[in-house]
Structure 1
Amino acid sequence: MTSTAPSTRSEPIVAGIVTALVGFTSSFVVVIAGLRAVGATPVQAASGLLALTVTFGIGMIALSMRTRRPITLAWSTPGAALLASMANSYEGSWSAAVGAFLVVGLLIVATGLVPALGELIGRIPTPIAQAMLAGVLLTLCLAPMTSLAAQPFSTVPILVVWVIAMRWNARWALPSALVTAFVVIGVNVVLDGGAGWAEQAWWPEPAWTTPTVDAAAIVGIAIPLYVVTMASQNVPGVAVLRSFGYETPWRPAMFVTGVGTVVGAPFGGHVINLAALSAALAAGPEAGADTSRRWIAGVSAGVTYLVLAALSGVLVAVASIAPDGLLEAVAGLALLATFVSAVLGAFEQEGFRIPAGLTFVTAAAGVTFAGIGGAFWALVVGLLAFGVLRKR
């Protein structure tokens, strides 16, 4: 009679904890920046971070236990980056943005129920979708250098730690850079005599916002947010799981993430989805040699996320007292790999290069027309250019 060794039993649990820690610390600054860009106050941003973490934490526990597969969920980091790119162009209200988040959740539910909707998204050429994402990310990925020019003494330690960690253990590069940023912020607070420290709300509280229906927000936020989440998160998430021998339960996953987005939207959450990059940590060899037990990593990650949800108020408070642009620099580092991947995907195929180029520059320019942001117009321009040039 054989028994499973203690170290083997603990491997999926540890892998789940690592998945949650890496996923949370590597991108929460992008989420905060995105929510603030479309009108959230610090309290509302903390509520949004709380809502996102709780909904997808519960969702991944339910899906992993139900399917016995390591199904991991996450907030849409590319979607948050899309919102952050609207910082200087969004003219609507926070309630209108919340209404757009709600629409995205309904669209995700519909994607699981109506196969034709998923097929329609699949018909958007990948280079066009990737070019839109790359254009949205460009400004954010410039933040580390912008911050370096504006405040070199605060930014240099972050960049140095990030480069060193990338050399020796890339998985922990962003968490290490984030810890360094917190140290720098603490030093600045001490040097300023604690200015702004006592005024912050450190404990997260759900903040309800009644959604409002705004056509410009639906077209300018909901549609691009839905497209970028499907193309950059859900579809790759399915591919990652398949690479490790697991088929994604598509309809249940879309139902859970869509309903979770609908529930979290009035509390400030933008959208939740299948995890892509972090999914490999829970579904891969790090979760143990026994593939039938890796679902435990999904449960472990979900539980860890629920614990981390309690930190949302602290993290938003720290972001509020940070020097301007410092945490945006960390966000830029977090998005750099995604930006490079999007650029490669956009321009790899010769026949798509001009349409993808037009899509990229339109999104990067952040043009706003009729109250609708550049991400939507980038898709329109790219698809029109592709249609015309393909006929020629």
Structure 2
Amino acid sequence: MRVLVVGSGAREHALLLALSRDPGVTALMCAPGNAGIAKIAEQHPVDIASGEAVASLAKKLDADLVIIGPEVPLVLGVADAVRSAGISCFGPSAAAARIEGSKAFAKDVMAAAGVRTAHSEVIDNPAKLDEALDRFGPNWVVKDDGLAAGKGVVVTTDRDTARDHAAELLENGHPVLLESFLDGPEVSLFCVVDGETVVPLLPAQDHKRVGDGDTGPNTGGMGAYTPLPWLPDETVARIVDEVVMPVAAELVARGCAFTGLLYAGLAIGKDGPAVVEFNCRFGDPETQAVLALLKSPLGQLLNAAATGTLDQVAPLEWYDGSAVTVVVAAEYYPAPPRTGDVIIGSDGDGILHAGTKMVEGQVVSAGGRVLSIVGVGPDLTAARDDAYGKIATVKLPGSHYRKDIGLAAVEGRITVN
């Protein structure tokens, strides 16, 4: 099977590494890729937002399966174009990708499916903002209703901060979603979905804020770990039964069946799981940790979903132990980052590239999140030690990373009511 992966981040690097372990995958290609991906896959330039360009490239490369990593091409309908060209594609249609592309659509789907989530209101008129803010709090959750690369959310106890963020979004022409605050630890559960067939992967926990102790602004994700020692197995089954399967069935009923990776972000409170958000693709940085423990062949799993045979796949097998991802970010990130610096120690097992490129034979930084460092071990403590040991070998001027990925779980500070 010849596989083309669309994207250029550490998520795509992780997908390609896992695909390289699948004996059924005979050729690996990536468009456009990055400096690290170049070592394991053919790379091809492409406008990932153009369905015509991606489909044309897939045909030229004689790809049997196209896997679309980022959310933007999915929301724009690139998967539709690939399938229209007669090529199997792992990724939802534009209609189904609205589960991430429009939070208002996602809320409507969840209401119809009877799925627990936060109370919300969409505000598109600045004149109505103050009155709406008065209906929320003391913790305000303010979101961009569209795509924001994980950085369009402000959670604050300061009303002025909430108002400023909402006003800025509205000024830029973006509708605002106000939500009630959901308590409890957060969980990311990835599910491979083919219509109403749902296959869950290992649950993970992302660390969104830039600083240790969950301080500072939200980012696209500074690290993750899996599995979650504090999360009972029955809770994962409950998420599948009460959240993912009803949403998948509702999308089928609406004529936009989901084919691809449905990502449920949840808060686990005293009343059980409640949805914070849905994404229509593999999450970053959770993917890097989750796929490090996958023993089953990834290419065959994703191809089964893409070809409508997911219900025939054998139960997934996983390696024992834990995996941790720590993101090494460029100076100033999540503000506009410093780029163009040479990276020392960018090769090696468990060092996945995100914002990198090759310049005159050297790997240099080319984005905000530059590398994802993946550690594995028999338990979470060992996996953390492995990850941070690898980070010590990497040198990037001005870079920063969180020192506490997975630490609260190791110290037993996360509990489910």
Shorter-chain TM range is under 0.3
Length-normalised TM-score, structure 1: 0.24
Report the structure, 1 or 2, having the larger helix content.
1
Structure with more strand by fraction: 2
